Chains A and B, each alone.
Chain A
Amino acid sequence: MAEFVMPSLGADMESGTVTEWLVKPGDLVRKGDVVAVVDTAKAAVEVECFQSGRVDRLLVPEGRSVPVGTPLAVITTDEAAAPTTPGRPDAPAPPDSAAAPVHTGDQAATTLEPPTRPATRPTTPIVRHLAKEAGLDLAALHGTGAGGAVTRHDIEQATPHPPRPAERPQTPPHPRGQQAPRVSPYARKLAADLGVDLAALHPGDGPVTAADIRAAAEQQPAQRQPAQRQPAQRRPVKARGVDNRTAIAALMSRANRDIPHYHLATTVDLDRALAWLREHNKALPVAERVLPAALLLKATALAAAAVPELNGHWVDGALQPSSTVDLGMAVAVRGGGLLVPVLPQADTLPLAEIMRGLREQATRARSGRPRASDLGQASITVTNLGDLGVEVVHGVIHPPQVALVGFGAVVERPWSVDGLLGVRPVVTVTLAADHRATDGAVGARFLHMIDNSLQTPEELL
């Protein structure tokens, strides 16, 4: 018997809203299955469960916002236990249950249970959810997966129209819970330029395309614009982006109010590192090629492990160093805003794993559907604006962390090597650090370590 609680999906998260349950009482779940979609101020997050078992009861209905740590569901880990055991009085009620219909035991299971549908073959929660959205009867579908299991692909094949979200507990401008439509960067840019609300689009099969955006722009009379939209706003106008903006505003205001920042910068010669990486990549399949960004992340993780004063959190007036290096990677979300997926224990990961994590997490964060496990608490954050052609990042720390590392673009610059002038690829590394926790000397040591390890790239494997 275990409780599945509202996870903390970032330093600034105090509460979250269960937008959708992807499981119902009686369902078998495995560790790592996505069981719910939780809405935070920043994103709709797919939340995985942390143990295998059977869902006994859902404690919080869809649409309810509860504080971090609130039990959301009871999962019976003992297989012998019947899935619909009568109510267990020991299960704590959600803190704000007074404001909502009373639901205990079986009653909760009944009232919260989504409409039942036959599911005789093994399916995963996400497949059941997709089928529900598409209005498909799983039992009637031909499954091509193992043991006749219906797969995501089968659902897509059987869907005559794109899955539409069923009735939502929420009303605009928060049309969450629906599968975030795939929107290409180009379409997003076009949407921003033409003032098209991506959230209001219902694309045909496949991702939202430029043609969809243009069509929507033509059909979109001025009065259809939601009242709260700023007329001059040219940013993508997805409601999510606005929420994300608010969350970033709050966090960054807190950082600038509470944290006495100090900033250091150093320029690192990447000649050896990049030459080594080129050779390294030649021996790899293209799909496993490592980007310089992964090398920079690994060097940063090692430096953070070596300088624990910069790797941790400022809590109640004191530094609490973290025992692991959980590296936050600031990722710009197309369409506006920022997410910070986390690579746990990055200092212990081989370079290939860092690259894989970077690739997968950036992809998920950008698609607007990160996983809960991507968004844990970072102990230090890295922001890499190199792809934007920026040379120097003057970062703002994400409280309660005490340091933020910034990488600019790798650029070729005149560089003195052994008394001679040469042209070298260099990168400017910056550190924004909390002066309450450390002084400049510590920061300097940290940057020096990053430089050092990039001079011996083979040790970063």
Chain B
Amino acid sequence: MTRSATDSAAREAVSDALLAIVPDAPIAELADDTDLREALELDSLDFLAFVEQLNTRTGMRFEEDDYSGLRTIAGCLRMLRRPAG
């Protein structure tokens, strides 16, 4: 798989996970470095649900220590690119 294909799959997973929590999230309007919690008004329950969605969709498990890395789309993509384990 090429790098760009991996990226687009990861982007789709992030986008789908966000849409599952905020069904009308204006994903296209969100810059990659926008703080998702602020822009979409996610509280801690919402954010936990988002992390859960990422877990279900990608099989990757993020610990709470990783949360700060998941605050932006760019951050999520970086985390998803991380080698497993």
| Interface positions of A (Cβ within 8 A of B) | 182, 184-187, 189, 206-211, 277-278, 281-282, 286-287, 289, 291-293, 334, 358-359, 362-363, 386-387
Contacts and interface: CB of A to CB of B under 8 A. Distances in A.
Contact of A362 (B24, B45, B64): B45
A437 B38 CA distance: 41
Interface string B38-51: 00111111001001
Nearest to A182: B23
A117 B12 CA distance: 45
Most buried by B among A210, A293, A358: A210
B24 A211 contact: yes
Interface string B1-41: 00000000000000000000011111000000000000011
Contact of A184 (B24, B55, B64): B24
Given A209-B24, A286-B62, A362-B45, 6 more contacts: A184-B25, A187-B24, A286-B52, A286-B61, A359-B45, A363-B45
B25 A281 contact: no
B52 A185 contact: no
A278 B63 contact: yes
Contacts of B62: 286
A63 to B, nearest CB: 32
A387 B23 contact: no
Given A278-B63, A281-B64, A286-B61, A210 B26 contact: yes
Contacts of B52: 286-287, 289
B43 to A, nearest CB: 4
Contacts of A358: 45
A293 B44 contact: yes
Contacts of A207: 23-24
Contacts of B65: 278
Contact of B40 (A186, A281, A291): A186
A292 B47 CA distance: 13
Nearest to B62: A286
A359 B62 CA distance: 20
Nearest to A292: B44
B48 A291 contact: yes
B26 A281 contact: no
A334 B45 CA distance: 14
Contacts of A208: 24
Nearest to B22: A184
Given A286-B51, A291-B48, A185 B63 contact: no
11 contacts: A185-B40, A206-B23, A207-B23, A208-B24, A209-B23, A277-B64, A281-B64, A286-B61, A291-B44, A362-B45, A386-B44
A292 B55 CA distance: 20
Contact of A189 (B41, B61, B63, B64): B41
A69 B24 CA distance: 42
B69 to A, nearest CB: 15
Most chain A C-beta atoms within 10 Å of own C-beta, residue among B23, B61, B63, B65:
B23
B76 to A, nearest CB: 15
Nearest to A188: B41
Contacts of A292: 44
Contacts of B63: 278, 281-282
Nearest to B55: A286
B54 to A, nearest CB: 9
A346 B44 CA distance: 21
Contacts of A359: 45
A130 B72 CA distance: 39
A387 B61 contact: no
